[in-house]
Structure formats: structure tokens, C-alpha cells
């Protein structure tokens, strides 16, 4: 169906008749009418009224190489013509599955060389939960089952991933979480640090993990999971003391360490993976989004030697998805990695565009009366909106400042997301300096 074939009103009427939207209050949709996005190129999307909109979110933190990359389309087309589907269950594999493992091993941190494929970040995290528990079972410690995660952590929308995450509004939908999940505080110095320095607070926030392990008993804890920078929770980058302390504690109590790289992976923080930016050495590393730049759904879980060897010796791995390693998605992911390598996109983020992006956003944090803090890393940014800058007073939910700001930006043809009272940004890695200037000028209005 061509995007031009219907008017915006017709699209909206059809949408409201049949389409149930994720993470959406249907009342808000009826009020404003859904915005129908019909095409995209580079860092821009167009809506059905022909408006050209700068995409400050790279879709949902995923279109890292930007829109309109023909070689990703060609890779999918070629693969679909040759072999649209075959699975990797029951002793078979396809060339694109095999070669994606090889391509990933080139870019993942040393030692994380073995990959299980799935279709979404949520499925990757469900896989992490099952593999970690399987691992401890194989190691003769079947009681090590509980996962410790963080408040405001986001790990997905399946029942297990919601329980793993620390999002109060998502927990509210289920009322009762699955057993086997516990949460500690998120390391947000600006709101929780009080009179402590950033580095003191980093240690305090990390020690909450030790307290929780001791409360549960180390023999009952399977793993700790965290996003290197918490994304959907409001782009919370921890103090530099945080991750080394978390890592020390995991090692001390023999707890697996999981870095959820679904947002931070594939160049977002100026290294291939956020773990490299923050010096984390995870045992398991789920990834999705930037793996295919969102062109087709695919995710993966990287595991280190320790986990892989146990799983490899452990008999039947009774886990998998029909579309684990979908050949076309694997082909697109390979093309995406090769493109990123050829265009040196990670280096570009680290050495050129992210420093410029952050310097321009820092101007807002310094000068704008309602921006209290710039957070994040690389091309991942959060702007904390505040009522009173000096006192660090955050707007209340009733003020609704961030949603108003988001709507205003959209009126000026810029997509930013509102998370609580934080405006978040995660533009495509190909964004230019001129486009960063355009973005900042639209935010300033």
C-alpha cells in the first residue's frame, strides 16, 4: 500500500478502528490524531502531510546508520530470494547465521565470542535469564536463580523482562511480578545523591548490590543486570566509580554480570559497546536495535568462555525461537556491521560528532532556565527539566513539562522523547554538525 494512497484523515480513521498501539494512552491518540510516518532518509522522516521531521531518536534508539541505506535493503532482498527462511534448530544452520557470528566476534569485546540469536531485546533478556539459571544448575548450584536489577532499568516487555526491569508503571499493569527478581536503587546522582560527591555516590549506589546479595544470600543470586547507561529510565549515566565497584562485588560473591547493550551497543556511546566505554567485563551481553539498525528485527546474546563452555557441555538447551537467526535479519545485520566498519561510524561518534553534540547540549544545561543537567554518553543524551535550577527541584507529573516540551518540539519538526521529566535524545550516528545545530535551535524555541 503506497503511503500516498490515502489522506491523513483516512489513515487516522483506519488506525483508530483497528490498531492497538504499544506504550500509548489511546485517549491522547484521539485528542491529537496519530501522526502517520510514511518515509525516511538519512536523519529525517516525513509524515503523511509531507512534513520533514528531524529524528532525534533514531526511531526507538535503533536506526544507528540512518534511514535509506540501500546496501541493507539489498542484503535483505538477496537473502530473501536465495533462502527466505530456515532455522538453526535440530542440527541445521544457514550461511548468514554463521557469518553473523563471525562478524559480531570482530566487534564485541575480547572474550565475548559466542552468540545466541533472537528477535528483540525482550527475547534476548528472556534468553539471558534462562541461560544464567541453566549455567548455575550445570555448576551444581541450582538455587542461584534470582536476578538483581535496578529501579528505572528497562529490559523489555515480556513477562520475564518486565519483572527484570524496574519500571513502576509497567509493574502496575501486572500487579504481581514473577518471583526471582529483586531491585536496587538506580545510580542517579542528580536526584538521589544528596550532599555526596558524584564519586562517593557511585560507591554508595553500587554497595546497594552487596547489601541485596547479602540479604538474599549469595547462594540464591544468579546474576546482576544493568544497562551501561540506563536508557528508557531517563538516560542515567552512573558516576565513574559505579561500574568498577559493581564488578568487584559480582566477582566477590560469584554472581554473573550482565550488561544490557540493547541501546548502548553499536556505537551509541562512542565505542562498539557501552561496556567498553565504562570498563565493564560482562559474562553475558544482550544486544538488539543497532545490531541491524532496526531494518529488520534481530537480537543476540553474547556469552563469554565461562558461560559458553558450561552451556556447550550441558546437554539440550531447551530454548529458542522459530525466528532465532532469521536468515534475512542476519544478512541485514552483517551488512550493517560492515557498513559501520567501512564508514568508521564508531570512531566518528567518539572523535567528532558526539563531542560536538554534547558541547551544544551543554549550552542548554548551562543557560536554559529549565534545563538542570545534561546526562548520558556519546550520542545518547538526557536533559533533566527543572522548576528551580539552583535547588534542583524537578517538575511534578502534574506540571507535565516534558510532554509539553516534546509536543512543542514535534510542532517544530523535531522528534525528542519525554521520559518522566527528562527529554531524551539518541540521533542516528550519521547526524551532521549542521543537523545538530538544527536540533539545538529547535529545542531552544
Binding mask 147-166 for ligand PLP (x = CB under 6 A): -------xxxx---------
Across the beta sheet with 221-226, what order do the strands follow?
112-118, 299-304, 284-287, 256-259, 221-226, 146-150, 181-184
Among 263, 333, 346, 394, binds ligand PLP (CB under 6 A): 263
User: Which residues have a Cβ under 8 Å from the Cβ of 144 and sit 6 or more positions away?
Assistant: 133, 136, 219, 220, 221, 222
- Identify whether the C-beta of residue 159 lies closer than 8 Å to the C-beta of residue 234: no
> Taking the CA atoms of the chain, what radius of gyration do you get in angstroms?
22
Tell the smallest beta-carbon distance from residue 441 to ligand PLP (Å): 28
Give the whole-angstrom CA distance, residue 336 versus residue 317.
29
Is the CB of 140 or the CB of 168 nearer to ligand PLP?
168
Is the CB of 333 or the CB of 371 nearer to ligand PLP?
333
Of 28, 59, 30, nearest in space to 400 by CA: 28
Tell the smallest beta-carbon distance from residue 37 to ligand PLP (Å): 18
Tell the smallest beta-carbon distance from residue 201 to ligand PLP (Å): 22
Among 48, 88, 96, 122, binds ligand PLP (CB under 6 A): 122
Is the CB of 21 or the CB of 52 nearer to ligand PLP?
21
Is 232 a binding residue for ligand PLP by CB under 6 A? The answer is: yes
Is the CB of 229 or the CB of 371 nearer to ligand PLP?
229
Other CB atoms closer than 10 Å to residue 355's CB: what's the count? 13
Is 183 a binding residue for ligand PLP by CB under 6 A? The answer is: no
Number of residues that bind ligand PLP (CB under 6 A): 15
Tell the smallest beta-carbon distance from residue 49 to ligand PLP (Å): 28
Is the CB of 160 or the CB of 204 nearer to ligand PLP?
160
- The three cell numbers of residue 39 are 518515509
Piece of the chain touching ligand PLP by CB under 6 A; list 82-90, 225-233, 316-324, 432-440:
225-233
Beta bridge partners of 115: 302
Is the CB of 300 or the CB of 374 nearer to ligand PLP?
300
Q: Which of residues 286-325 bind ligand PLP (CB under 6 A)?
A: 288
Bridging pattern class, strands 146-150 and 181-184: parallel
Among 45, 204, 223, 262, binds ligand PLP (CB under 6 A): 262
The residue nearest ligand PLP at its CB is 121
| Cα–Cα distance list, 308 to 5, 93, 269, 291 (Å) | 51, 18, 27, 21
Is the CB of 48 or the CB of 163 nearer to ligand PLP?
163
Is the CB of 299 or the CB of 435 nearer to ligand PLP?
299
Beta bridge partners of 116: 301
Of 133, 132, 98, nearest in space to 115 by CA: 98
Give the whole-angstrom CA distance, residue 135 versus residue 145.
10
- The contact set with ligand PLP (CB under 6 A) reads 120-122, 125, 154-157, 227, 231-232, 260, 262-263, 288
Amino acid at each position: 500500500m503506497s503511503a500516498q494512497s490515502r489522506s491523513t484523515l483516512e489513515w487516522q480513521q483506519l488506525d483508530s478502528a483497528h490498531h492497538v498501539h504499544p506504550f500509548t494512552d489511546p485517549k491522547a491518540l484521539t485528542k491529537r490524531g496519530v501522526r502517520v510516518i510514511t518515509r525516511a532518509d538519512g536523519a529525517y522522516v516525513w509524515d503523511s502531510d509531507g512534513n520533514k521531521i528531524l529524528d532525534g531518536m533514531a526511531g526507538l534508539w535503533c536506526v544507528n546508520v540512518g534511514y535509506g541505506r540501500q546496501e541493507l535493503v539489498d542484503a535483505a532482498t538477496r537473502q530473501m530470494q536465495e533462502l527466505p527462511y530456515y532455522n538453526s534448530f535440530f542440527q541445521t544452520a544457514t550461511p548468514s547465521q554463521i557469518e553473523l557470528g563471525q562478524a559480531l566476534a570482530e566487534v564485541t569485546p575480547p572474550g565475548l565470542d559466542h552468540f545466541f540469536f533472537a528477535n528483540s531485546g525482550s527475547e534476548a533478556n528472556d534468553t539471558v535469564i534462562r541461560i544464567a539459571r541453566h549455567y548455575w544448575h550445570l555448576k551444581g548450584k541450582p538455587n542461584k536463580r534470582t536476578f538483581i536489577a535496578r529501579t528505572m532499568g528497562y529490559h523489555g516487555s515480556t513477562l520475564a523482562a518486565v519483572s527484570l526491569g524496574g519500571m513502576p508503571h509497567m509493574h502496575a499493569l501486572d500487579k504481581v511480578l514473577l518471583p526471582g527478581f529483586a531491585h536496587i536503587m538506580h545510580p542517579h546522582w542528580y536526584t538521589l545523591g544528596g550532599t555526596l560527591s558524584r564519586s562517593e555516590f557511585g560507591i554508595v549506589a553500587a554497595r546497594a548490590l552487596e547489601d541485596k546479595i547479602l540479604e538474599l544470600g549469595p547462594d540464591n543470586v544468579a546474576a546482576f543486570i544493568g544497562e551501561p547507561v540506563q536508557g528508557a529510565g531517563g538516560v542515567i549515566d552512573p558516576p565513574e566509580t559505579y561500574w568498577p565497584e559493581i564488578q568487584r562485588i559480582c566477582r566477590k560473591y560469584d554472581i554473573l554480570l550482565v550488561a544490557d547493550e540493547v541501546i548502548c551497543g553499536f556505537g551509541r556511546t562512542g565505542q562498539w559497546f557501552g561496556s567498553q566505554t565504562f570498563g565493564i567485563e560482562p559474562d553475558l551481553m544482550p544486544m538488539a536495535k543497532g545490531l541491524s539498525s532496526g531494518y529488520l528485527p534481530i537480537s543476540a546474546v553474547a556469552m563469554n568462555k565461562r558461560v559458553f563452555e558450561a552451556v556447550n557441555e550441558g546437554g539440550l538447551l531447551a530454548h529458542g525461537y522459530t525466528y532465532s537467526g532469521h536468515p534475512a535479519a542476519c544478512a541485514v545485520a552483517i551488512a550493517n556491521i560492515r557498513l559501520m566498519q567501512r564508514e568508521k561510524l564508531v570512531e566518528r561518534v567518539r572523535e567528532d560528532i558526539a563531542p560536538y553534540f554534547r558541547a551544544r547540549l551543554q549550552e542548554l544545561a548551562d543557560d536554559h532556565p529549565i534545563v538542570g543537567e545534561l546526562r548520558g554518553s556519546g550520542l545518547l543524551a538526557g536533559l533533566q527539566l527543572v522548576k528551580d535550577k539552583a535547588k534542583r527541584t524537578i517538575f511534578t507529573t502534574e506540571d507535565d513539562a516534558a510532554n509539553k516540551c516534546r509536543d512543542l518540539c514535534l510542532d517544530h519538526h523535531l522528534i525528542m522523547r519525554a521520559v518522566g521529566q527528562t527529554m531524551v535524545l539518541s540521533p542516528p550516528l550519521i547526524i551532521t554538525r549542521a543537523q545538530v545545530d538544527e536540533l539545538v535551535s529547535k529545542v531552544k524555541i
